[in-house]
């Protein structure tokens, strides 16, 4: 049985809302990646340029498998070795990935989280959600619900209370095709 807070968060996502939730290291804001109005609203709330793209976060690989173009066995193994966990990979997207998710980039950023609350959220939602740091452009990421309230007074549809995952910095971002580390 889902707890009430996750049910409320899922309902907000299903209704096109933008929510905040704790991730491995910082608070994130998210929405349904397939709802263009919600995506645009999230970008407006953050004052984030649409060309930048955003991360998709999921409970398990099955939730993002059809969003990734076919991979070779070595690439598949690289993902399997680091997921779930604080590893975001830039991967070749399938045609299903919305333009606002990719931004101007040829690859899409995807993470399968190990954060129990976010896993439960994505499981209950039935798919991946957007995960971008909860802060207006140029400000440090939110580390508490107080930061969320200060940054986004009355702009979010729901705040899913919970604890951060205990990491000192946001997930590592790597390019699956080259192995290059984009963000350590």
Backbone dihedral angles phi then psi of residue 135, each to the nearest 5 degrees: -165, 145
The pLDDT confidence band at residue 153, using thresholds 50, 70 and 90, is: very high
Average pLDDT over residues 42-46: 97
Average pLDDT over residues 38-63: 96
- Strands 172-175, 87-91: pairing is parallel
What is the model's pLDDT at position 117? 97
What is the model's pLDDT at position 144? 97
Backbone dihedral angles phi then psi of residue 36, each to the nearest 5 degrees: -60, -35
What is the model's pLDDT at position 126? 98
pLDDT at 1 over 70: no
> pLDDT tens digits for 110-122?
999 999 999 999 9
Give me the domain span that covers residue 81: 4-183
Residue 57 sits in a domain whose CATH number is 3.90.870.10
What is the model's pLDDT at position 2? 60
What is the model's pLDDT at position 3? 86
The pLDDT confidence band at residue 184, using thresholds 50, 70 and 90, is: confident
What is the model's pLDDT at position 89? 98
DSSP string, 112-140: E---HHHHHHHHHHTS-EEEEESS-TTSP
Domains in the chain, number: 1
Average pLDDT over residues 105-110: 97
> pLDDT tens digits for 20-38?
999 999 999 999 999 999 9
pLDDT at 58 over 70: yes
Mean pLDDT rounded to a whole number for the chain: 96
pTM: 0.95
pLDDT at 131 over 60: yes
Spell out the long-range contacts of 45-48 with Cβ–Cβ below 8 A and sequence spacing 24 or more: 45/18, 45/136, 45/152, 45/155, 45/156, 46/132, 46/135, 46/136, 46/137, 47/136, 47/137, 47/138, 48/132, 48/137
């Amino acid at each position: 049985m889902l707890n009430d807070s996750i049910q409320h968060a899922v309902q907000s996502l299903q209704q096109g809302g933008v929510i905040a939730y704790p991730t491995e290291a910082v608070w994130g804001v998210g929405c349904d990646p397939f709802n263009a109005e919600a995506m645009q609203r999230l970008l407006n709330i953050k004052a984030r340029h649409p060309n930048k793209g955003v991360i998709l976060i999921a409970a398990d690989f099955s939730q993002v498998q059809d969003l990734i173009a076919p991979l070779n066995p070595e690439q598949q193994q690289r993902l399997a070795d680091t997921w779930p966990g604080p590893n975001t990979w830039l991967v070749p997207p399938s045609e299903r990935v919305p333009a606002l998710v990719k931004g101007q980039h040829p690859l899409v950023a995807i993470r399968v989280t190990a954060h129990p609350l976010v896993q439960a959220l994505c499981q209950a939602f039935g798919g991946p959600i957007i995960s971008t740091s909860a802060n207006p452009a140029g400000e440090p990421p939110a580390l508490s619900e107080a930061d969320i309230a200060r940054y986004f007074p009355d702009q979010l549809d729901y705040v899913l209370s919970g604890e951060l995952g205990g990491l000192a910095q946001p997930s590592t971002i790597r390019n699956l095709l080259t192995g290059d580390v984009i963000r350590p």
